[in-house]
Amino acid sequence: MKWSEFSIHTTQEAVEPISNILHEAGASGVVIEDIADLVKERSTVLGEIYQLDPTDYPEEGVIVKAYLPVNSFLGETVDGIKASINSLLLYDIDLGKNHVTISEVNEEEWATAWKKYYHPVKISEKFTIVPTWEIYEPVSSDELIIELDPGMAFGTGTHPTTVLCIQALERTVQKDDKVIDVGTGSGVLSIAAGLLGANQIQALDLDQVAVESARLNCKLNKVQNVVNVSQNNLLDGIEGPVDLVVSNILAEIIVRFIDKAYEVLKENGTFITSGIIQNKKNEVKEALQNAGFVIEETMVMEDWVAFIAKKK
């Protein structure tokens, strides 16, 4: 099959919403080439492998690439993607150069294109994310490994918004907790919660591709008995009480279901919200407080913010 590479030069702030648009448009695999990844200092003491080629990276900003099958709908798909990306301006998301290029690639190139950017990474005190095609020997006996094949769903586990959630889960999940993961993507946060001892996890996503990817990854990590993955819009129709709700979605989406998250949580339950770009931080903080949450911790990584809030 022939594939078309859709490439857009944009900003770090726009990476996540653009990746979502591309996934929703049926893209298979998204590659993110961020100059910040190339220049950042990395520890290799834990056995991580970094093989980044400077010629793959832009001089400034971020290039997001996605792969779309070449068929008779391609022209319309690309026009639809461009229109959706441009509509992000309505949410004050800076698109930077917003320069799009389209080129053809063959399947073999596509299959390896995004995998070369993805290697084992230790992302928190306990967790190391390992792509399924890499062989990795744990460094210590208490290290927790998440094996992932993100496929077409968002969530290689290494995006700052995901890392913040996993670090927050590590601090908050108690044995036998009931958890809801809103916008599970590859299932990475549900897997983390399961490995930390939660024993009833509802993983929800609007996107059926994500639902299938999360089911596969849960099996791969042997948490399928404690994680139930289903297609759902936010928390619509979901009932509590649960100990913890975690969600890594954009600020604009989080504010839509804060009241419902409050409703499904037990007294003193925890709401972890991530995917919040710095300039939207106060908007989410105010909405959390208005709903009755008390913010216990504000976590920051690069341009991203996550909150650990408690229902009081």
Do the annotations mark residue 183 as ligand-binding?
yes
C-beta separation of 241 from 220 below 8 A: no
What is the enclosing helix (H) or strand (E) of 204? Answer: strand 200-205
CA 13/CA 18 separation, integer angstroms? 9
C-beta separation of 168 from 246 below 8 A: yes
Distance from CA of residue 223 to its chain's centroid?
19
Closest distance between ligand SAM and the C-beta of residue 44, in Å? 24
Residues near ligand SAM (CB under 6 A): 16, 20, 153-155, 159, 162, 165, 182-185, 188-189, 204-207, 210, 233-234, 248-249, 253, 275
Closer residue to ligand SAM in complex, CB, 68/102? 68
Closest distance between ligand SAM and the C-beta of residue 14, in Å? 13
CA 68/CA 70 separation, integer angstroms? 6
Question: What is the residue whose two structure tokens read 């709401």?
Answer: 271
Q: What angle do CA 148, 152, 156 make, to 5 degrees?
A: 35
Closest distance between ligand SAM and the C-beta of residue 290, in Å? 21
Do the annotations mark residue 282 as ligand-binding?
no
Intra-chain end-to-end CA distance of the chain, in Å: 55
Closest distance between ligand SAM and the C-beta of residue 248, in Å? 3
Closer residue to ligand SAM in complex, CB, 128/248? 248
Closest distance between ligand SAM and the C-beta of residue 209, in Å? 8
Of 266, 226, 267, whose CA–CA distance to 242 is shortest? 266
Of 38, 98, 41, whose CA–CA distance to 64 is shortest? 98
Do the annotations mark residue 221 as ligand-binding?
no
Do the annotations mark residue 205 as ligand-binding?
yes
Closer residue to ligand SAM in complex, CB, 120/183? 183
Closer residue to ligand SAM in complex, CB, 61/150? 150
For the annotated binding site, the residues are 162, 183, 205, 248
**Residues marked as binding for S-adenosyl-L-methionine?**
162, 183, 205, 248
